[in-house]
Structure 1
Amino acid sequence: MKYHVIYDGNCNLCVSLVQQMENLDQGAQFDYIPMQDEAVLNRFQITAKDCELGMILIDANNPEHRWQGSDAAEEIARKIPFAEGLVSLYRKIPGLKSLGDKAYEEIRDNRYQWFGKRDRTYHSPYPIGCIALGAGEREKGKGTR
């Protein structure tokens, strides 16, 4: 199953987290769309105003199935093998989800002041439509991204 991650390509924190995900996933489950790419956002009927509410995760097989903000972050973590248990625990502790939502909103609203803003938009080497290479193919340099 493939998912599209819409992130702020001008936010230092957001880009750092996307790069961590790229290293872990290498395009197998996730591809990445900067929210500054209006042409791609239009394909999903997403506006810049929609993006102001936080990152968006879209199920590529069912694009109407979407998560946003802290819900998107949780769903992404559920897809990463070592983090799935942490998300389950996080969701079971009373009040922690609400606290996490508030923390996400605070970081979202202050990300440029706290972490800085990039001069140029970051574009992932795993853009929408990328095909993940198997380990052997990556070593040989075959395939496309």
Structure 2
Amino acid sequence: MRYHVIYDGNCNLCVTLVQVLENLDKGQLFDYISMQEEQALKNFGVTPQDCEMGMILIDAASPERRWQGSDAAEEIGNLLPAGNVFVSAYRALPGMKWMGDRVYEQVRDNRYSWFGKRSSTYKSAYPVGCNAASDCQS
């Protein structure tokens, strides 16, 4: 089963987290597309306005299954080896989900001022439709 991660390729924090996920997963479960690739996002029915609400995770086998924002981050955590233990513990603590959602919103809305903006858009080593960037180069 594969999942598409839609991330902000201009955000320093977002790119760092994508790179960590790339190193953990090595393109086995996740592939990536930046929010700046508007034409490619149309293939998934994702608009720039959708992207303003935060990262998006799409189930490649059932594209109608989608998560966004902190829900996407939690689902990615669930999919990682042993990650479900941490996500379940986080969700079990009273008020943590609510607080996590608020923190995510604050980071999302202030990501450029708090973490900086890249001068060029990051292109993942595991783009959508490829096992690695080298597989897709013409």
TM score, norm. by length of structure 1: 0.90
Match in the other structure for 1:11: 11
In our comparison, the structure showing a higher alpha carbon Rg is: 1
Match for 2:13: what amino acid? Answer: L
Any unmatched runs of 5+ in structure 2? Answer: none
Distance 1:84 1:39 in 2: 33
Cα drift, residue 45 of structure 1: 1.1
Any unmatched runs of 5+ in structure 1? Answer: 133-142
Match in the other structure for 2:46: 46
The residue correspondences of 1:1-145 to structure 2 (distance < 5 A) are 1-131=1-131, 144=135
Distance 2:8 2:116 in 1: 12
Deviations along 1:6-61, one digit per CA (max 9) or x if unpaired, are: 00000000000000000000100000000000111100111111000000000000
Deviations along 1:43-81, one digit per CA (max 9) or x if unpaired, are: 011111100000000000001100000000000001111
Provide the alpha-carbon RMSD of the alignment.
1.2
| Runs ≥4 residues deviating over 3 A | none
